[in-house]
Structure 1
Amino acid sequence: MTQLYQSERKRFEERGQGQVFAHAASLDSVGQEKLCADTQLIDLDEIESLVDTLVRNHGTEAISFEGLEPAPYISHPVHGGDKAEWDRARASGEAALRAGKVAAFTVAGGQGTRLGYDGPKGTFPVTPIRKRPLFQVFAEKLLAAGNRYGVAIPWYIMTSSINHEATVQAFEEAGFFGLERDQVKFFSQGRMPAVDFEGKILLSGKDTVAMSPDGHGGSLRALVRSGAIADMKERGIEAISYFQVDNPLVQVIDPAFIGFHMDHGSEMSSKMIPKAYPGEKVGHFCVQNGRTLVVEYSDMPEAMQEERDSSGQLRFLSGSIAIHILDVGFVERIGGGKAGVGLPFHRADKKIQTVDADGNVIAPDKPNGVKFEMFVFDALPFASNPVIIETLREDDFSPVKNASGIDSAESCRDDQLRQWTRWLKAAGIVLPADSSGLPEIVFEISPLFADSEQAFLEKWSAIADKPEIVAGTVLA
């Protein structure tokens, strides 16, 4: 037995977690090394604290709704917002971009399992004609923005232990989708061990701890621990454009959003969309005791979600869609856990594959343990001068989460077509479409041709011999 094995076993036994090594004596040296590779990732002080607060005490502390109010937000010009204010913000954001102060950051740790797809979700084909993957859509938007502002915008991508190698391989095989190799930085999400309802760390195999990703909130400390924040500081980056991998409609680089963030001296800014109906499954931007926070739809009482103001509009209208701008210094402070500041963990009771006393693998049919995860929106209460701006759902939010129905590949494809049809209409080309704006033909506009309506109008007006838009047309 190696010195590492002996020290790790002693460390766990002294903290009452010796069961992690229950089958270690039957393992060969390779198996013991594999087990120790997992145990070295585990902070037993952190696990003990989480067990005390979330497992033994059942994590049942009631959420207080006393004094909870809807958070204020900056309205979009389409809905009465001050256009001059938005123009000033856009100018500020464009100046920051030209100065190289902005980076993109994608949370991309998931697989395409729910879509019936075998591979990292970012490699899932999502465009109507070219069948380009999510990663390529984002890369082309970054290329378009970079060309516009004369700068190579760095892109940081957080993978997971299950898809890191496949993600890097996909980029290498695609020539980084046109980006420079040193423009893209990959790092893997942190993992946390699962425990049983007594607080004992579970094994998923004799030589493997039952580990799971630490939630999208874990992205902040992963940015710090991976060295990504240090890299950003060396590059002069001040603001991070955060978005998730499942939303191809997202404005990867939104100068107005960046400008509002910069002009307000905000440490964390967020986009909201008005909820479509009371029970829509998005979090709610709220204010409580002077702090901005997000209350999940599953936590807010139904009666509160259905409250309306004097005009008949939903009172808690602002829906969170996981699009943020983060200050680099803020991420360094929160992700580094300095001065006792860090995101809280949440408890999730799950069915967790484990092994019994004899080493037999058990696949439970009901929850048998607890996983710990963090949510990125829990950083909002720690942020100075948080800003929330309204965005248009049809131009910024159409996630691909499900195999069919709402938030599926099909619904997203249709939303892309509706967006491009609106751009054409603004240019004076009206395509036959149904009442929802979905055109009768299928076509595609690459972000390399235009990544916004404004960019499309500029590009289209400059074309002398304009192409006819028919089924199968690709503007790239």
Structure 2
Amino acid sequence: MATPSIIEAFERAGQGQVFAFYSQLDAAAQQRLLAEAAEIDLAEVEQLNRTLLGKNAATVNLDGLAPAPFAPLPENGGNADDWAKAKAAGEAALRAGRVAAFTVAGGQGTRLGYDGPKGTYPVTPLKKKTLFQVFAEKIRAAAIRYGKPIHWFIMTSHANHEATEGFFKENTFFGLDASLVHFFRQGRMPAVDFNGKILLETTGTIAMSPDGHGGSLRALDRSGALDLMKREGIDTLSYFQVDNPLIRVIDPTFIGFHLLRGSEMSSKMVPKAYAEEKVGHFCTQHGKNVVVEYSDLPASYQKEVDEKTGKLRYIAGSVAIHIFDAAFIRRMAAGGEGVALPFHRADKKIPTVDAAGKAVKPEKANGVKFEMFVFDALPFAKNPVIIEAKRADDFSPVKNAEGLDSPKTCREDQLRQFARWFKANGAAVATDASGLPNVAVEVSPLFGYDEDSFADRWAKAATKPAITDGLYLE
């Protein structure tokens, strides 16, 4: 698109204010502004303004809502034979090289008081390995276990792309083959004011923000990642977010459930710890699986108790762990009639400029950011599967500097996991009532990245070390 036509297109769309200061910019700044403007789909923005900002903006519909069914763990009543068959099928897929890992890693460590990409934040008890190193070692270990290289796709943001790539290069990709690690940027959306006008961040830059983790599906397509997967014979993608070091990055049983049931999108749930826990809820609605955010599900629903079990009725919490079929991702990315992730609005304080070009830092929400959620793909998926996971083995995110989901709680959950593995294999380790050991230890994923791989390696060890403070196994 030639320069004049971009400006004209914005003017025709009623968004000419984006170029209000264009004539005052130097040539380089003009080109940067034009490049940002070229990212924007004006028709999409107009539609979002109409559907999310208008008087008739859609609200969450709870009609026909019910808890979603899931496959419980064998110890909670699940069919042990089904779980064993799933594990065998998943292991066969891994040995065939059909599976890749995918990390959504666009976030910064701001809420942790950390300046840098969140994936570069140190989390392990002794060695202070970063989130990225933990995942890299889990992928390396799984590749060795199943005898096939595992590709790793990492979605960054415009804010942290270069820093993330540089971090991997500085650390020689943590022992991974660099040709198997693929970085690409998340898409962006412009922020608008409450009248739907695109906001400028400065006189020469548009207020752009990431398009949400749901944007990962179209980013996989636009980046060429799906084409690469097809060339490599990969049809199954293990999706997880960057803040959760406990995640079983490569879980053969989960993969097997997904494949055996012909699922296009599968998910893990963990039972909610308490009624108001801030997680999404897996539900069914009109024959489709959906996730309803905690902020959208009335408290009366969240507190509802099943009369037979005495447990919460809406107990299936979403922890952002999914498996996708590659062809399904391509279909969702292509969109088309009735096949597209919806955008959600988030009212935010957005730094901008006034009519004179002077910087404005608002004290209250002055505009709207648009974002997509990956779980909104569920209603479009054929044969969706939800399986139960143990929170203690799959979910301990690092989100907050203190309190819940903090570095402290995550460190303790890692220590509890290591202690469980030691105890299960006959090692003596003292713990408190919560399972927290009285010594600080660390198990590298290269020694054991889950219960099975740890048990195998421990059994092969010629001498079994005493579980003392500072023990590190690799």
Q: Deviations over 1:167-221 (max 9, x none)?
A: 0000001111110011000000000000111111000001100000000000001
Name the structure 2 match of 1:230. 227
Name the structure 2 match of 1:474. 472
Q: Distance in 1 between matches of 2:158 and 2:14?
A: 27
Q: Distance in 1 between matches of 2:337 and 2:328?
A: 13
Q: Distance in 1 between matches of 2:297 and 2:360?
A: 36
- The amino acid that maps onto 2:287 is G
Q: Distance in 2 between matches of 1:375 and 1:58?
A: 22
SS of the residue aligned with 2:217? helix
1:445 maps to 2:463: no
- The amino acid that maps onto 2:370 is F
Name the structure 2 match of 1:376. 374
Name the structure 2 match of 1:139. 136
Q: Distance in 2 between matches of 1:83 and 1:429?
A: 27
Q: Distance in 2 between matches of 1:70 and 1:132?
A: 38
Name the structure 2 match of 1:421. 419
The equivalences for 1:181-260 within 5 A come to 181-260=178-257
Name the structure 2 match of 1:358. 356
Q: Deviations over 1:87-107 (max 9, x none)?
A: 100000011111111110000
Name the structure 2 match of 1:121. 118
Name the structure 2 match of 1:50. 48
Name the structure 2 match of 1:432. 430
TM-score, scaled to structure 1: 0.98
Name the structure 1 match of 2:400. 402
- The amino acid that maps onto 2:28 is V
Two-structure CA RMSD over aligned residues (Å): 1.0
1:344 CA drift (Å) = 0.4
Check whether the contact 1:4–1:36 (CA below 8 A) recurs between aligned residues: no
Q: Deviations over 1:346-385 (max 9, x none)?
A: 0111100000111101000000001100000000000000
Name the structure 1 match of 2:391. 393
1:4 CA drift (Å) = 3.7
Check whether the contact 1:5–1:32 (CA below 8 A) recurs between aligned residues: no
1:433 CA drift (Å) = 1.4
- The amino acid that maps onto 1:461 is A
Q: Distance in 1 between matches of 2:333 and 2:67?
A: 27
1:100 pairs, out of 72, 97, 113, with 97
Check whether the contact 1:284–1:294 (CA below 8 A) recurs between aligned residues: yes
1:300 maps to 2:290: no
SS of the residue aligned with 1:242? strand
- The amino acid that maps onto 1:268 is M
Q: Deviations over 1:252-273 (max 9, x none)?
A: 0000000000000000000000
Name the structure 1 match of 2:169. 172
- The amino acid that maps onto 2:327 is G
- The amino acid that maps onto 1:341 is V
Q: Deviations over 1:443-474 (max 9, x none)?
A: 10000000112221211111122222211111
- The amino acid that maps onto 1:220 is L
Check whether the contact 2:6–2:37 (CA below 8 A) recurs between aligned residues: yes
1:133 CA drift (Å) = 0.4
Check whether the contact 2:238–2:324 (CA below 8 A) recurs between aligned residues: yes
Q: Distance in 1 between matches of 2:27 and 2:452?
A: 62
Q: Deviations over 1:17-56 (max 9, x none)?
A: 1100001111110110111111000010101111111112
Q: Distance in 1 between matches of 2:182 and 2:210?
A: 19
Q: Distance in 2 between matches of 1:112 and 1:32?
A: 31
- The amino acid that maps onto 2:132 is F
1:81 pairs, out of 75, 78, 81, with 78
Q: Distance in 1 between matches of 2:431 and 2:23?
A: 68
Q: Deviations over 1:241-285 (max 9, x none)?
A: 000000000000000000000000000000000111100001110
TM-score, scaled to structure 2: 0.98
2:69 pairs, out of 66, 69, 72, with 72
Check whether the contact 1:128–1:413 (CA below 8 A) recurs between aligned residues: yes
Q: Distance in 2 between matches of 1:247 and 1:184?
A: 19
**Unaligned stretches of 5+ in structure 1?**
none
Q: Distance in 2 between matches of 1:160 and 1:101?
A: 27
1:112 maps to 2:94: no
Q: Distance in 1 between matches of 2:327 and 2:452?
A: 33
1:339 CA drift (Å) = 4.2
- The amino acid that maps onto 1:14 is R
Aligned-pair identity in percent equals 60
Q: Residues 403 and 370 of structure 1: is their aligned pair in 2 closer, same or farther, counting only changes over 3 Å?
A: same
The equivalences for 1:273-284 within 5 A come to 273-284=270-281
Check whether the contact 2:428–2:467 (CA below 8 A) recurs between aligned residues: no
Q: Deviations over 1:73-99 (max 9, x none)?
A: 001112121111111000000111111
Name the structure 1 match of 2:16. 18
- The amino acid that maps onto 1:442 is A
1:157 pairs, out of 154, 157, 160, with 154
Q: Distance in 2 between matches of 1:449 and 1:467?
A: 13
Q: Distance in 2 between matches of 1:443 and 1:367?
A: 46
1:340 CA drift (Å) = 4.6
SS of the residue aligned with 2:357? coil
Check whether the contact 1:242–1:323 (CA below 8 A) recurs between aligned residues: yes
Between 189-198 and 449-458, report the one with greater CA deviation.
Answer: 449-458
Q: Distance in 1 between matches of 2:392 and 2:208?
A: 37
Name the structure 1 match of 2:458. 460
Between 331-340 and 321-330, report the one with greater CA deviation.
Answer: 331-340
SS of the residue aligned with 1:217? helix
Q: Distance in 2 between matches of 1:62 and 1:457?
A: 50
Q: Deviations over 1:95-136 (max 9, x none)?
A: 111111111000000000111111100000010111110001
2:315 pairs, out of 314, 317, 334, with 317
Q: Distance in 2 between matches of 1:275 and 1:465?
A: 40
Check whether the contact 1:421–1:437 (CA below 8 A) recurs between aligned residues: yes
**Unaligned stretches of 5+ in structure 2?**
none
